[in-house]
Amino acid sequence: MAVFNIIGAFSTLGLYGILWGRAPGGSSGEWARAFVPMAVMAAGDLGVIIATQTGKVGIVTPISGAYPVVTLVFARLVLHERITRIQMACVAATLAGMFLSIPELTDLIGWFRELMHR
């Protein structure tokens, strides 16, 4: 998956650069701004692959699927964007789903329900 992300990034950025880009060269800062996000994305995919091989997929998948929460926090803290109520509700639902996917917690909730129905 990480390899496909790298190939896709080079393909899209390379094609964009050939069609609409400037002359080759550029400062090291420009290169860093282009390649660091690709490297972070590839590292994230590699982390998901390792986590699914060593951990439980039922836990890894909801956590890795919650990346929009990180994007929303980044948009608020760095870009100073306003977060709407629906976005906050979605974040709360995502975090609640992650919390409820913990197996030990599910066992605890089942035990508590049994206790209440006695």
Separation between Cα atoms, residue 58 and residue 100, nearest integer Å: 11
pTM to 2 decimals? Answer: 0.52
Top-confidence residue, 63 or 96: 96
Kindly list the domain boundaries of the chain, sorted by start residue. 1-54, 56-118
The distance in angstroms from the start CA to the end CA of the chain is 49
pLDDT in tens, 31-61: 777 778 778 877 888 888 888 888 777 777 7
Q: How many CB atoms lie within 10 A of CB 95?
A: 12
Q: Residues 72, 87: contact at Cβ < 8 Å?
A: yes
Q: Mean pLDDT over residues 83-107, rounded?
A: 82
Among residues 93, 90, 104, 101, the alpha carbon closest in space to that of 63 is found at 101
pLDDT in tens, 63-92: 788 888 888 888 899 889 999 999 999 989
* Per-residue pLDDT at 24: 64
Among residues 37, 117, 101, the alpha carbon closest in space to that of 64 is found at 101
